[in-house]
Chain A
Amino acid sequence: MTADEARLSRPLGEVQIAELTQALAGNGLWIDFGAAIVRVQSDCAVFAAQLRTVYGQFPFADQSEWADLHVRIRRPRGLRRWVRPQVKFQYDSQQPFEPFPADSPLPLFEWGCNWLIGRRLNDVLLLHAGVVEKGGLALLLPATPGSGKSTLTAALSQRGWRLLSDEFGAFDPEAGTFRAVLKPIALKNRSIDVIRRFAPQAVLGREFPKTRKGTVAHLAPQRDAVERRHEGARPGAIVLPRWEAGSPTRFEPLTDNSVFPALAFNAFNYSLLGAVGFQAAVRLVRQCPAWRLVYSDLDDALIAIETVWPQVVERRRASPK
């Protein structure tokens, strides 16, 4: 290993803040989510530390030939640099939305990157879903906001399931596999404490109160998930989660025709892809057994999933296509 390779193979979490800040202020930092690479530049002093916590396992790269997304997190000039200071999100010299408070570059970066990914990754079917993997098979958790999808995805990722994404079910119709869009999981409001209690060893970034989704804190992806982010996962099963206060765990099988709309009509680019999107969604519904999971207790919900998983693996072994 040359000195340069050694310098570049360090995880971000081991890089000095000063070096990160310098990279952000200069050429930028390249972060590889798996299905997309972002190049980010910033002149915002607190950003480096926020990034380092939640992207700690990602390799450090301050030069590269290619990025899919080009993002700048900038402090505005003029009054807003000093009075109620803000940061703004720019891509390719365009500014698509309103600035955030100056102490919140990370939520702005995460939100903006998701927005760009949702618009740009039209070479794959982008379902709005969490995806985790075990034994080479993907468990897809499609859901509407507020259903507890991120919480359940986060919990699974802390109990031996490999995280691919908590937001994007990026299904590659040609390869027939899900691709990782690996980013920190944005936990909201009560989920933050739920996950802290559930997995005390989990690495969480600082809390950002008063975002448009309430308080947000980001859960850092683990090393194994980062190292394997270019590894796809074949469709395994679908679980539609719904968190209900005080509810006993209910785990009910679903028919194909009730799962299809949960995939297709809850996707970023289903209609854009036309026939390709339709065929991909049909294929997923036909290949994957599906359940509805209503839960209030995370441990109990995970037991329900773990109980059926051997059947899922067995079924796939029996008909590998």
Chain B
Amino acid sequence: MQWPLAEWERVVRLSRRLRLLARLAEGVIAAGLIDRVPPEARRHLVAERCLSRWRTGAMLWTLERVAIMLGDASYPRVILKGAAYIGQDLGIAAGRLPSDLDILVPRAHVPDAQARLIQAGWKTVQLDEHDSRYYYEWSHEVPPMTHPLLGMELDLHHNILPPVARTHVSADVLLERLQPSKWAAWQVLDPADQVLHSAAHLFHDSEARDRIRDLVDLDGLLRHFGATPGFMARLPERSRALGLEEPLALACHFCVKWFGTPIPAEVLETIEAIGPDRLRRTWLLPLLGSALMPTEPDDSPSLRQGVAAIALLARYHRQRMPLRLLVPHLWHKLRTARHAADDVVDSAGA
């Protein structure tokens, strides 16, 4: 709180870009310190908290409407990520900025769930033949759905990683250990699986730049569930069962190194031993470190970060799809992107 104004400016800008400003606001307000924040910065904290609460409210309303449509279904309905954190009253739910609602049902029941949602007015975005095939055959979710009255996109999953990914996660193993949430209509993943899902999402599923908020989530999950005796010791075994040893090791590495997350030394040792081998760690850790470390608000990513981002993107695509699928997929993306770019230029010139 004793920062000079210029430092507050930096903090507000950075945390807004990293989508952590509302989380900062919730923390400062909960600690009773908001009056000691200079007024110039305080208004941004308060404003972003409003935004976060509004988006969270929109997500909860959407969840309620979806629950009504799927209410009498015979199969499990699972909420993931942000919705699940609220459904368990976790501290890390405060100050998140949800952009979509993620739910999961068993793969065999995806058509039924989708049909029920479409009947309730949900619409699937129009896709070309390639993209719809991509979703239906190679992805772990159906195309994102939108509703004219509900201001939140809905992602209907049947797994937490794509089925064609090198790391194959068995959805059955996930579904075996579902836990109740505070809503009767919805279940959540086992706490260990929640950590593994968040880690897989960060280290497998997308690009790492400006994703430090996922690491903050992981730190929060580990601290919260870590208070339960035996939880930490279960993590390595569970990561093996799901084939997610590497993301778990990476998550723990950065959480401990950057946030001092309390993980018992012997657990950490086991996690490291089943994680990436020494050679892989020597190139992967620095790459991820560069990509995850936020750039200053006024700086573009450094050359090092650019290289890291490209290398990690290549790794991401490699992990997500075998080359025989990846090459045609990227070719198609390139072609459609070029057509889209031509359209933009044409309409701008008109």
- Min CB distance A122 to B, Å, is 4
| Interface presence of A252 (CB below 8 A) | no
Q: Which residues of A contact B54 (CB under 8 A)?
A: 271-274
| A98 vs B44: C-alpha distance when bound (angstroms) | 27
Q: Which residues of B contact A92 (CB under 8 A)?
A: 13, 16-17, 297
* Selected A-B contacts with CB under 8 Å, 18 pairs: A65-B4, A66-B5, A68-B40, A70-B298, A92-B13, A93-B297, A93-B298, A93-B299, A93-B300, A94-B17, A98-B344, A122-B48, A123-B44, A123-B50, A272-B50, A272-B51, A272-B54, A274-B54
| Interface presence of A120 (CB below 8 A) | yes
- Min CB distance B30 to A, Å, is 19
- Min CB distance B337 to A, Å, is 15
| Interface presence of B60 (CB below 8 A) | no
- Min CB distance A77 to B, Å, is 11
How many residue pairs at the A-B interface have CB separations less than 8 Å? 52
**Interface residue total, chain A, C-beta cutoff 8 A:** 19
Chain B residues within CB distance 8 Å of chain A: 4-6, 8-9, 13, 16-17, 40, 43-44, 46-48, 50-51, 53-54, 57, 295, 297-300, 344, 348
Assess whether B297 is in contact with A123, with CB atoms less than 8 Å apart.
Answer: no
Q: Which residues of B contact A65 (CB under 8 A)?
A: 4-6, 9
| A93 vs B53: C-alpha distance when bound (angstroms) | 26
Interface contacts beyond A68-B40, A274-B53: sample of 9 additional A-B pairs, CB < 8 Å, sorted by A: A70-B297, A92-B17, A93-B300, A94-B17, A123-B44, A123-B47, A271-B54, A272-B50, A274-B50
| Interface presence of A308 (CB below 8 A) | no
Assess whether B13 is in contact with A122, with CB atoms less than 8 Å apart.
Answer: no
| Interface presence of A67 (CB below 8 A) | yes
| Interface presence of A17 (CB below 8 A) | no
| Interface presence of A121 (CB below 8 A) | yes
| A68 vs B13: C-alpha distance when bound (angstroms) | 9
Assess whether A123 is in contact with B16, with CB atoms less than 8 Å apart.
Answer: no
| A66 vs B13: C-alpha distance when bound (angstroms) | 11
Give me the 6 closest cross-chain CB pairs, A-B, nearest first.
A122-B47, A65-B5, A123-B43, A272-B54, A123-B47, A122-B50
| A92 vs B40: C-alpha distance when bound (angstroms) | 18
Can you list, as one digit per residue, whether each of A56-76 has a CB less than 8 Å from chain B (1) or not (0)? 000000000111101000000
Q: Which residues of A contact B13 (CB under 8 A)?
A: 70, 92
Q: Which residues of B contact A121 (CB under 8 A)?
A: 47
| A248 vs B299: C-alpha distance when bound (angstroms) | 56
CB nearest neighbor in A for B348? A98
| A9 vs B64: C-alpha distance when bound (angstroms) | 56
Can you list, as one digit per residue, whether each of A205-240 has a CB less than 8 Å from chain B (1) or not (0)? 000000000000000000000000000000000000
| A271 vs B149: C-alpha distance when bound (angstroms) | 13
Q: Which residues of A contact B298 (CB under 8 A)?
A: 70, 93
| A163 vs B250: C-alpha distance when bound (angstroms) | 56
Q: Which residues of B contact A70 (CB under 8 A)?
A: 13, 297-298
